[in-house]
Amino acid sequence: MRFKPSKILITGGAGFIGSHLVDRLMMDGQNVTVLDNLSNGSLKNLQRWLENERFRFIKGDLKKPSDVEEAVKDIELVFHLAANPEVRVGETDPYIHFQENLAATFNLLEVMRKSPSAETFVFFSTSTVYGEVEILPTSEDYGPSIPISTYGASKLGCEALASSYAHTFGLRTLILRVANVVGSRANHGVIIDFINKLETDPKRLEILGDGTQKKSYLHIEDFTDATLHLTSRFLVDKKKADVYNVGSVDQIEVKKISEIVAEEMDLQHVKFVFTGGVDGGRGWLGDVKIMLLSIDKLMKTGWKPKYNSEQAVRLAVKAILKER
């Protein structure tokens, strides 16, 4: 799906999700710049584009304004993916989410505000901004949003900043609240955790929590399709800011994910051991046990996911195992 503007910046573009977005935009003939400090990403994910004249990679940090200024120069559209995605780290070092998510986003918005070319900001948020909800599926207008993790809080703060810049400075902002994305190139998350543990001990798999966690999973192909679909619509829209949930239409239990991983690794008689969890059976403090986003607003635009949660997980497991 090709759209204007054609000068695009992707922060965190060397990571799992960002690199797939780079692939799609480059295949569409766009001019793409990636800013990444390579703390979670890898140049291996971008290898096919490094010599392409339409592609530029900058190893830099959003916490350094000079790096951001270099990356944003002449850019019209920014996809902001760079963040610290580890929810669990907030329990021991909450400063990380403030610095790497909230402060970094503020630096980016400030540089964009002063740029003569930057017009549109696409921010990738998370389902965790809602916290523990009373209504499932959860729609965009659910409130109040009360995050239970510093990660969710930092992302909600970023949303508020981006919205304020849209209304105060005219920096048009599209916010996407995304479910758990899975697929090739992933380097963290429940699937990676299970594979690593089973490679160490093929007979026993420890699962954090009480086993009742149930969440929505979105395949990376559906994620990139939805992102480009919504961005193309937003670029011709008149709104200063808008927000969409992006996910699948169903959920899958963590126990089922463990079974899929074991099946795809051709392992039999695996003993699944649940830790019991913390704070009511959570896998960790800040873990939202049950999550299902309403994507009615998204589907009304004419888009729907190709894969359900179980299909997304199984495809992701196959792809990740093939890469190892």
What is the rounded CA–CA span in Å between residue 86 and residue 152?
Answer: 10
Q: Are 171 and 165 in contact (CB under 8 A)?
A: yes
Residue 151 is a catalytic residue: yes
Give the residue among 108, 151, 136, 129 at the shortest CA–CA distance from 10. 108
Q: Are 164 and 110 in contact (CB under 8 A)?
A: no
**CA angle in degrees (0–180, nearest 5) for 278-185-213:** 25
Which of 130, 142, 151, 244 is catalytic? The answer is: 151
Q: Are 198 and 205 in contact (CB under 8 A)?
A: yes
Residue 120: helix, strand or coil by DSSP? strand
Q: Which phi and psi (to 5°) does residue 150 adopt? A: -65, -30
- Contacts for 150 with CB less than 8 Å, ≥ 6 apart: 90, 94, 97, 98, 286
DSSP code per residue over 266-299: T--SPEEEE---BTTTBSSTT--SB--B--HHHH
Which residues are catalytically annotated?
A: 151
